[in-house]
């Protein structure tokens, strides 16, 4: 079946960010209750930080839509409105495997030598080379579906 449009929503659903936060929580409890270090300011501050990070990881989303008009993306909570790139603004677009840590310093909203990247997880993305000279990488976990849509739209 040929797809004419592409839509994807990515979220942080891996276990490692929450594992790190859980270890931090355990460390704070040990530090406060066992070691005798009784600073309530530190304890409450670290608990608040962990709660905010857990909330952030829960709400962060990368929305991507591709159709005959162009590419729309929204990296919530950094973007509240859709960001749009029309096909006229794009020099070339390709699906590529990238090295998140080496090229961009990790995942998320990143800037690197290759340009700007919007990624949640994985190592595959839609690389856009714009006519203005800017480069944007939008991460995807549905590269096969995206390839089909791009082939259809290219015709």
Q: What are phi and psi of 113, to 5 degrees?
A: -60, -30
Q: Which of 4-8, 10-14, 58-62, 80-84 has the lowest mean pLDDT?
A: 10-14
Residue 37 has pLDDT above 70, yes or no: no
Q: Is the pLDDT of residue 16 over 80?
A: no
d(CA 114, CA 139): 14
Given a cut of 90, whether residue 26 has pLDDT beyond it is: no
For residues 109-124, give the mean pLDDT.
91
d(CA 58, CA 56): 5
* 50/74: higher pLDDT: 74
Every domain of the chain and the residues it spans: 6-10+62-154, 12-59
* Angstrom distance (rounded) from CA 27 to CA 25: 5
- pLDDT level of residue 27 (50, 70, 90 thresholds): confident
pLDDT of residue 54: 79
CATH code, residues 6-10+62-154: 2.30.29
Tokens of 135: 């480069």
Q: pLDDT, tens digit, for every residue of 125-137?
A: 999 999 999 999 9
Q: Do 140 and 127 contact (CB within 8 A), yes or no? A: no
């Amino acid at each position: 079946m040929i797809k004419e449009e592409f839509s994807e929503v990515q979220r942080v659903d891996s276990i490692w960010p929450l594992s790190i936060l859980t270890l931090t929580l355990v460390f704070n409890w040990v530090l406060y209750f066992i070691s005798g270090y009784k600073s309530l300011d530190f304890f409450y501050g670290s608990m608040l930080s962990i709660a905010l990070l857990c909330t952030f990881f829960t709400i962060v989303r990368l929305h991507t839509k591709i159709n005959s008009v162009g590419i729309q993306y929204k990296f919530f909570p950094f973007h509240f409105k859709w960001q749009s790139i029309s096909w006229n603004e794009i020099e070339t677009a390709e699906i590529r495997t990238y090295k998140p840590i080496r090229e961009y310093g990790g995942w998320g909203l990143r800037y690197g030598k290759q340009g700007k990247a919007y990624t949640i997880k994985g190592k595959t993305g839609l690389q856009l080379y714009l006519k203005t000279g800017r480069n944007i990488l939008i991460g995807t976990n549905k590269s096969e579906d995206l390839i089909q849509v791009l082939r259809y739209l290219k015709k």
